[in-house]
Amino acid sequence: MGIIRRSFLSAVGAVAAVAVVLAAPGTASAGAQFPIPNADPFYSEGGDISGVAPGTVIAARPMPNPPNFVGVNTWQLAFRSTSSLGKPIVGVTTVFVPVNKAPDGPLLSYQQIVNALGLKCAPSQALYSTDPNVVIRDAAALNVVFQRGWSVAMPDHLGPTSAYGAAKLGGQITLDGIRAAQNFDPLQLRNSPVAIAGYSGGGMATAWAAALAPSYAPELNIVGSAQGGVPMNLIKMAYLLGETNPHPTFGLALAAAIGLGREYPDTMPVSESLTPQGTAMMNQVANSCTNDILAVGANHSAAEITANRSVFQDPEGRRVVEENSLELYPGVPRAPIFEWHSPTDGLIPVDAIDNSTARYCAAGTPVQTLLTPTPDHLSAALLGLPAALQWLVDRFAGLPAPSTC
């Protein structure tokens, strides 16, 4: 399949419980803390992109439609984005364009739930995987969206090193993926109204994109964000998922610590702080997707696999975790928000959502909150989905945004 490249370039859910223990200063280690690189040249820089504007398309290629995706043409775009440390990186987004789309019709950026450290788990690859532990199962819901004539951009929001837990990065990649889709003229999206949506880890990238947009991408016409089950505070998350006591989902915490170590290697040299048991667990999950990560980490704790080096005693390590905690970010989204979650969710700190929502309301941003009648994190996603979709329909229609502030 063909690849279109810019000529001047033809010559990268639950989180942070372990990060609170693995963040004393030191020299970054290589090895399993980082993923096996992607051999596909489409994902590589292909040249110096430091002088290229974020959202600039570096390469583009048409793709076959993933299984069960109908009525669309599929493209993948590689684009210039920015790391958490301000360095240029390559992002990738997969864009689905309905065959019945009107020019400049609505564009939805949909951030998948990706709880992973392996690059094979990123949406651009998982969409085409036959591995049942990797494959993306959103075709039915997205086909409904395609029938409305909406284009959908699905970014690899964990970035080129699958930096799970680096939430701010996810927001930046999401915004640059939208820019890329609008900059690529064959898609006819340059003047499209934009909405963003996602749940859990995808909701975290969505919520960060909404909060960053006024300063990072003020030119985007974002009409609203639908964000559910968002982990808003990684410090608080640390106390929930196995800092000292074993927890069934501790694997996600371990993955988040590794992901943050990838994004901030000089501040959080994770592999230096592990016991032999912890090193073995890191090696097992370093290129894994959700199921394997959960299996390896089940009923373990940070205290069990580390040398008791605490981020709470290290200002720089704590700063990294706080920097990726949206509750602590002073920026406020300008676009309206639809937010849904279980009021008794056991995986995420609900008070952090409530505090963030209250701050947005006080700043004048319309927020509609839906509390789902279930204690379960994942079932809340399905229960809130119909209302979230209708809310997005109304935003694209230009109707006034409701508010429960």
Q: Render pLDDT for 184-236 as a digit per residue (tens, 0 to 9).
A: 999 999 999 999 999 999 999 999 999 999 999 999 999 999 999 999 998 88
From 260, 280, 314, the end of a domain falls on 314
**Is the domain of 199 the same as that of 250?**
no
Q: How far apart are CA 358 and CA 29, in angstroms?
A: 41
Q: What is the DSSP letter of 293?
A: H
From 255, 281, 314, the end of a domain falls on 314
**Is the domain of 222 the same as that of 369?**
yes
**Is the domain of 255 the same as that of 340?**
no
**Is the domain of 364 the same as that of 255?**
no
- For residue 248, the number of C-alpha atoms closer than 13 Å in the C-beta half-sphere is 2
Q: Could you report the per-residue pLDDT of 91-103, keeping only the tens digit for each?
A: 999 999 999 999 9
Joined tokens for residue 108? 């939805």
CA 273-278-283 angle, to 5 degrees, is 105
**Is the domain of 210 the same as that of 100?**
yes
Inside any domain, residue 68: yes
Inside any domain, residue 155: yes
Inside any domain, residue 163: yes
Q: Could you report the per-residue pLDDT of 46-68, keeping only the tens digit for each?
A: 688 989 999 999 999 999 999 99
pTM of the model: 0.92
**Is the domain of 32 the same as that of 130?**
yes
pLDDT level of residue 12 (50, 70, 90 thresholds): very low
- For residue 37, the number of C-alpha atoms closer than 13 Å in the C-beta half-sphere is 9
- For residue 92, the number of C-alpha atoms closer than 13 Å in the C-beta half-sphere is 26
**Is the domain of 219 the same as that of 160?**
yes
Inside any domain, residue 157: yes
The residue-averaged pLDDT of 162-186 equals: 97
pLDDT level of residue 32 (50, 70, 90 thresholds): low
Residue 169's CATH number: 3.40.50.1820
Inside any domain, residue 226: yes
**Is the domain of 370 the same as that of 289?**
no
Residue 223: per-residue pLDDT: 98
From 295, 314, 333, the end of a domain falls on 314
Inside any domain, residue 215: yes
Contact 72, 146 (CB under 8 A): yes
**Is the domain of 310 the same as that of 348?**
no
First and final CA of the chain: distance in angstroms? 50
**Is the domain of 124 the same as that of 207?**
yes
**Is the domain of 154 the same as that of 269?**
no
Inside any domain, residue 404: no
**Is the domain of 178 the same as that of 163?**
yes
Can you give the residue range of the structural domain that contains 219? 4-233+323-396
Residue 45: per-residue pLDDT: 66
Number of domains in the chain: 2
Contact 334, 373 (CB under 8 A): no
